[in-house]
Amino acid sequence: MTTATQFKVLEQNHPRVDAYEKVTGRAAYASDVYLPGMLACKLLPSARNHARIVSIDTGEAAALPGVRAVITGTDFPDIRFGSGALRDRYVMPREVVNFVGEPIAAVAADDEATAQEAIELIKVEYEDIPSVVNPLSAMVEGAASVHPELESYEGYGFTLGHNVSTLLDADRGDVEQAFRDADVVVEDVYRSQGINQGFLEPMACVADVEPSGRLVVYASTQGPYQIRAGLAAVLEMPVSRIRIVPMELGGGFGAKLRLAFEAFPALLAMRTGRPVKLVNTREEVFTMNGPRLPVTNYVRSGVMNDGTIVAREAYTIFDVGAYLGAGPNSGIGHGIGAYRIPNFRLRSYGVYTNKIYVGSYRASGVADMTFAVESHMDHIAQQIGMDPYDLRLHNALREGDVSVSGAVVPSNGLIETLEAIKEKMEWPRQLEDGHGLGLALCEWRSGSGPSTAAISVNDDGTVSLLTGSTDISGSDTSLAAIAAEALGIPMGSVIVAKRDTDMAPYTGQSGGSRVVYSQGTAVQRAAEDTVQKLMALAAERLGVPEDALGCEDGRVYVMDNEPQGLTFAQLAAASITSRGGPIIGTAALSSMPYTPVFATQAAEVKVDRDTGQIKLLRYVQAQDVGVAINPMAVEGQLDGGVVQGIGRALTEDQQFDPDNGAVRNPSFASYLMPLAIDLPEIEDVLIRVPAEDGPFGARAVAEPPGFGPPAAIANAVYDAVGVRVKQLPLSGERVLAALNGDYDEIPFDVEALRLAEGII
């Protein structure tokens, strides 16, 4: 096993490479961009959730002094685009609005107040169309149709009709036989709520048209190349005519992976010839930009008396709102959890409704799946009279098992995370009345996708690292640490370049637990390429064969005669006149092998029997990180993720009007994220089973911490007071209702879904 002492840079705490800029307030975010002659952009939200736009009268708005341009949907090319394969939306609706809040016009004016005044002068005449807000109602024959022309959309695949945008399936074994053979069958329906990503920095961008006609967009984004592609599509421009400059990112969590509102200031800049800035208000973030929408989950398991789970059936309904902003993939990818279940039938539906479209958030849907699957595990344990820990240990995936996707599970630290939590929580433990303990297992995979890196050696012996990845949660610091470790130089000798889409090579988004694992591998390989080139040059200059050389501490030397050698500085200087020229190491890759990430989490709670409120007393997590590139940053990600999960468990709830789907609480005053005062200290245990791939054996870290809290806390509530709440958040109101015995099970017609598919 790899140990910390092998490393010179990794496994040690490093402050962020951009710490000085951040703490002095000098780091520049998109809203800090001020260009000469810059205009302010404001948006007009739709007042209806499903209506034909009869007319939009912008005359009075355009005539207001200080207003420079007004645009509506028909000012854009008549092109549908999409967040995934299915092209189901216009960047701004042309004829029909599909949710309350959908931007239907934009104004550029000399200042924000004038732009807002103009917005209020725009007159829209709507003609209402029947709408549907509840996804379960939307799936019923005869329901109002959100997209009547769905089948004509580019990218349309197999669905069952009735507002189903996507239906995914995964099957293995003989499910019916396995259920017949099972000693016990356990069945549950769970429902999780709408969740806002809650990033600190609202969407912001500045668009500018250069004299050559090239469009430059300064943006707050996780995916500069993806925004470039999105803009190119909706503006009908070649990507080469667009440059995206990613500014510092004030949080994204998936909400900034794709094109958001950049097209509006872009088109306004093209119309006016002046730079245009758009900075969203928090209310706009809540009502215009896709959050996570409620998920309903039917799950059934066949179990033997010894605890072996032999069959699983799961039907998951993802409300996708007006547009498929993020797919329902996790419904099948995470339907069996971190367990070996030989027979399964998993179905995942993405269902359109007339409310804000669904967006991405820290492994979209997996937290919902984990709440269902891990609550269900405790229900199974209770039904067969087994300890929830023992049940998990008995069924946990082991090396060599086949994962739900069909990939063979490589070596991993799942069992170690379980054992670490058992020890840390002293499980099982007798507690006083009203107190309880709960567990949850979390599983994810290290993120893959195109990754590139280039390292050039400066003539003072430092290196400049160039990647296309925007910094997310300190990823620049981790990439610098990987480069430093691979090159054998200190962290301070790695300069991380600020980049844009003209300068840096193409790369995937900063999201999905991808940057350190995949991008980091590219950086490691680029560093190795750099070392190889330095060694080749040194061999030439020193007149010795390459295999006689070693490389350490920023110096290439002759292994038999250590004083004989050349420093990186000397080699960089020499390289300028060498045959090969200046030293640049590069690497590129398109995908990475399946590398799972497992975590076990545990909550200790106290339940107030009179109010139903839950006090979280302790939260402990153990995660297999492979190798901790920068332990301080790893713990930061683990803690941050758990806190987001605790919010999901206890207080966060983006609510929608049942009649028109409008967001009912578009503010941090009514959408309650947890505060420091609400949290216990989060206790972290890092398990280190090195990954077979990934930089120096590191696994991804970011996503799993957020998955566990809803189930761990719900399970602890059951342990404390004997009631199982199957709906999130676990509000005082719900827990008290359950304590009083008037808690309603969630209705779910699984027979209808089986029948529709021909399963009897």
Partner 1 sequence: MARFDYLEPRSLDEALRMLADGGNSTRLVAGSTDFLVRWRTGVWRPDSVVCMQHVPGLDHITWNPDDGLSIGAMATVQDIEQNGDVRSRYPALVAGATAFAGVQVRNLATVAGNVCNASPAGDTLPALLAYNAQCRIIGTGGERWLPMDEVFVAPGRTALESGEILTEIRLPPPAENTGGLYIKHSPRGAMDISAVGVASVVSLNADGTCASARIALGAVAPTPMRAYGAEGRLVGQIPDAANIAEAGRLAAQSCNPIADVRSGADYRREMVRVLTERTLSHAVATAGNPPSYDDIRRLAVQTAW
Q: Would you count residue 608 as binding partner 1 (CB under 8 A)?
A: yes
- Position of tokens 């590191």? 698
Cis upstream peptide for 729 (omega within 30°) = yes
Residue selected from 736, 738, 739, 753 as contacting partner 1 according to rule CB under 8 A:
736
Nearer to partner 1, 378 or 652 (CB): 652
DSSP class of residue 351 equals E
Q: Would you count residue 613 as binding partner 1 (CB under 8 A)?
A: yes
Give the burial class of 52: count Cβ atoms within 10 A of its Cβ; 0-12 exposed, 13-18 middle, 19 or more buried: middle
Nearest CA to 321 out of 150, 147, 127 is that of 147
In the three-class reduction of DSSP (H, G, I as helix; E, B as strand; rest coil), residue 568 is classed as: helix
Nearer to partner 1, 671 or 696 (CB): 671
Given the rule CB under 8 A, which of 2-10, 150-158, 242-250, 667-675 is the region that contacts partner 1? 667-675
Q: Would you count residue 731 as binding partner 1 (CB under 8 A)?
A: yes
Q: Would you count residue 675 as binding partner 1 (CB under 8 A)?
A: yes
Beta strands in 531-613 (DSSP E): 549-552, 555-558, 561-567, 584-589, 596-607
Q: Would you count residue 191 as binding partner 1 (CB under 8 A)?
A: no
The alpha carbon of residue 495 and the mean position of all alpha carbons in its chain are separated, in whole angstroms, by: 27
Region 281-310 residues binding partner 1, contact defined as CB under 8 A: 283
For the bound state, the minimum distance from the C-beta of residue 494 to partner 1, rounded and expressed in Å, comes to 39
CA distances from 518 to 147, 211, 223, 524 (A): 37, 38, 15, 10
Given the rule CB under 8 A, which of 15-23, 74-82, 441-449, 671-679 is the region that contacts partner 1? 671-679
Nearer to partner 1, 215 or 663 (CB): 663
Q: Would you count residue 650 as binding partner 1 (CB under 8 A)?
A: yes
Q: Would you count residue 1 as binding partner 1 (CB under 8 A)?
A: no
Residue selected from 113, 304, 402, 503 as contacting partner 1 according to rule CB under 8 A:
113
* Site residue total, partner 1 (CB under 8 A): 31
Q: Which two tokens stand for residue 641?
A: 């993720």
Q: Would you count residue 607 as binding partner 1 (CB under 8 A)?
A: yes
Residue selected from 665, 683, 743, 757 as contacting partner 1 according to rule CB under 8 A:
665
Given the rule CB under 8 A, which of 98-106, 483-491, 583-591, 727-735 is the region that contacts partner 1? 727-735
Residue selected from 1, 200, 669, 760 as contacting partner 1 according to rule CB under 8 A:
669
Nearer to partner 1, 422 or 606 (CB): 606
Q: Would you count residue 60 as binding partner 1 (CB under 8 A)?
A: no
In the three-class reduction of DSSP (H, G, I as helix; E, B as strand; rest coil), residue 501 is classed as: coil
Q: Which two tokens stand for residue 179?
A: 């259920």
Q: Would you count residue 116 as binding partner 1 (CB under 8 A)?
A: yes
Nearest CA to 456 out of 647, 586, 602 is that of 586
Nearer to partner 1, 529 or 604 (CB): 604
Residue selected from 78, 151, 306, 610 as contacting partner 1 according to rule CB under 8 A:
610
Nearer to partner 1, 376 or 435 (CB): 435
- Position of tokens 């409008």? 662
Q: Rounded to the nearest 10 degrees, what angle do helices 224-235 and 263-272 cross at?
A: 60
DSSP-derived secondary structure for 621-684: EEEE-SS-SSHHHHHHHHHHHHHHHHHHHHT--B-B-TTT--BS--STTTS----GGG-PPEEE
Nearer to partner 1, 564 or 670 (CB): 670
String of contacts with partner 1 for each residue 680-719, x by CB under 8 A: ----------------------------------------
The alpha carbon of residue 64 and the mean position of all alpha carbons in its chain are separated, in whole angstroms, by: 42
How far apart CA 638 and CA 445 sit, in angstroms, is 15
Nearer to partner 1, 151 or 681 (CB): 681
Q: 269-273 long-range contacts, Cβ below 8 Å, gap at least 24?
A: 269/108, 269/207, 269/208, 269/209, 269/215, 270/209, 270/215, 270/235, 271/68, 271/69, 271/71, 271/75, 271/108, 272/39, 272/68, 272/69, 272/108, 273/209
Q: Would you count residue 655 as binding partner 1 (CB under 8 A)?
A: yes
Nearer to partner 1, 194 or 252 (CB): 194
Identify the bridge partners of residue 606 per DSSP, sorted by sequence position: 435, 615
Nearer to partner 1, 646 or 753 (CB): 646
Which residues of this protein are in contact with partner 1, per CB under 8 A?
A: 112-113, 116-117, 283, 606-608, 610-611, 613-615, 650-651, 653, 655, 664-665, 669-670, 672, 674-675, 677-678, 731-733, 736-737
